[in-house]
Amino acid sequence: MDTIKIQTLQNVEIEYTLANIGERILAWIVDILLLSAIVVTFFVIISFEYIPSNEILIFLFFIPILMYDFLFEQFNDGQTPGKKLLKIKVIALDGTQGSLGKHFLRWLLRPIDIGISYGLAAILTILINGKGQRLGDLVAGTSVVSLKQRTKSTDTVYIQHDDNYEVTYPIVIHLTDRDIENIRHIARESIKRKDANVAAALAEKVKSILQITTEQSDLDFLRTVVKDYSHLTSKF
């Protein structure tokens, strides 16, 4: 499987598995079907005059429809519903979280990648580039990766859920899935490289953000944060 390495702000290299073309096409099909269902429902409602039909209303309706990919990727952590279903997402290659500018550039070139060329430009660019990037990704500095778990059970800081588990830091619920994913990756890389400085820097940053004071070692603290978050979110 093709992979890509991202250098994080903590100077840790994280390896992601690139989403393959099949996954990306299936995600696109899911999104198209969802959009089609929304549009059909809208016009059915108008045809039965449940709401007054006028040009301004139709114009306002189609603005978010046309910006569907941009809006979801910007406000849903790089995932449209189709991408979420296929467990793939857009990431930035500079180690930062995807910005409004990156997602907008990616969306702006979508008509060329997928519309005008019927997807041929996107497919050819992805195959030639080798980093899972279509034209929009090349300009925006992004790629699409798979979130499917492909690591061994011994190569993770997650531990199986325990109904009797007691949460140590309830405040971790304010973190996001992406935060926890980054913590997990960086902690794992710290263990692999036997580099305590990376774990220490990350632990201090997390403590500062959450305003936590603890006597736990850096790695134990990071493990606890991940386990607490996993336990708390599993209840929803």
Q: List, for residues 112-150, the tens digit of each pLDDT value.
A: 999 888 889 999 999 898 889 999 999 999 999 998 754
If asked whether residues 94 and 201 sit together in one domain, one would say: no
Secondary structure of the chain in HEC code, one letter for each residue: CCEEEEECCCCCEEEEEECCHHHHHHHHHHHHHHHHHHHHHHHHHHHCCCCCCCHHHHHHHHHHHHCHHHHHHHHCCCCCHHHHHHCEEEEECCCCCCCHHHHHHHHHCHHHHHHHCCCHHHHHHHHHHCCCCCHHHHHHCEEEEECCCCCCCCCCCCCCCCCCCCCCCHHHHHCCHHHHHHHHHHHHHHHHHCCHHHHHHHHHHHHHHHCCCCCCCHHHHHHHHHHHHHHHHCCC
pLDDT for residue 102 is more than 80: yes
If asked whether residues 91 and 177 sit together in one domain, one would say: no
If asked whether residues 46 and 142 sit together in one domain, one would say: yes
Q: How would residue 169 be classed by pLDDT, with cut points 50, 70 and 90?
A: very high
pLDDT in tens, 63-75: 999 999 999 999 9
pLDDT at 103: 95
If asked whether residues 25 and 83 sit together in one domain, one would say: yes
pLDDT for residue 153 is more than 80: no
If asked whether residues 40 and 110 sit together in one domain, one would say: yes
pLDDT in tens, 190-207: 887 778 888 888 899 999
